[in-house]
Amino acid sequence: MRVLYVCHRFPFPPKRGGKIRPFNMIRHLAREHEVHVASIVRSAAEAAEGEGLAKYCKGYAMGRVRDPVQALRMVARLPTPTPSSMGFFYSPGLAREVRQTLARERFDLIFVHCSSVAQYVEDVAGIPKILDFGDMDSQKWLDYARYKPFPLSLGYWLEGRKMERAEKRLAGRFDLCTATTRAEWETLEAYRTSADSDWFPNGVDGEYFAPTDEPYDADTITFVGRMDYYPNQECMFDFCATTLPLLQAKRPAAKLLIVGADPSPAVQRLSKLPGVTVTGSVPDVRPYLRRSALMVAPLNIARGTQNKILEAMAMGVPVVTSRVAAGGVDAEAPEHFLAASTPAEYVAAMLRVTEDPVERRRLSAAGRARMLDRHAWDKSMQRLDGIIDRCLANHSRAGAGRPQVR
Q: What would the pLDDT profile of 272-291 be if each residue is shown by its tens digit?
A: 999 999 999 999 999 999 99
Strand bridging mode 129-134 / 109-113 = parallel
Q: What is the model's pLDDT at position 405?
A: 41
CB atoms inside a 10 Å sphere around CB 173: 18
Provide the residue type at 236 as one letter: M
CA dihedral 171, 175, 181, 182 (to 10 degrees): 90
Q: What is the model's pLDDT at position 302?
A: 87
Question: Per-residue pLDDT tens for 329-343?
Answer: 999 999 999 999 999
Helix %, strand %, coil % of the chain (to 5): 50, 20, 35
Q: What is the model's pLDDT at position 403?
A: 41
Q: Which residues of the chain have pLDDT under 70?
A: 400-406
Angle at 284 between CA 297 and CA 295, to 5 degrees: 20
Q: What is the model's pLDDT at position 44?
A: 94
Query: What span, in angstroms and rounded, lies between the C-alpha atoms of 293 and 218?
Result: 5
Q: Are 67 and 42 in contact, with CB atoms under 8 Å apart?
A: yes
Q: What is the model's pLDDT at position 394?
A: 85
Domains of the chain, with CATH numbers? 2-203+377-398 (3.40.50.2000), 217-374 (3.40.50.2000)
CA 231 to chain centre: 12
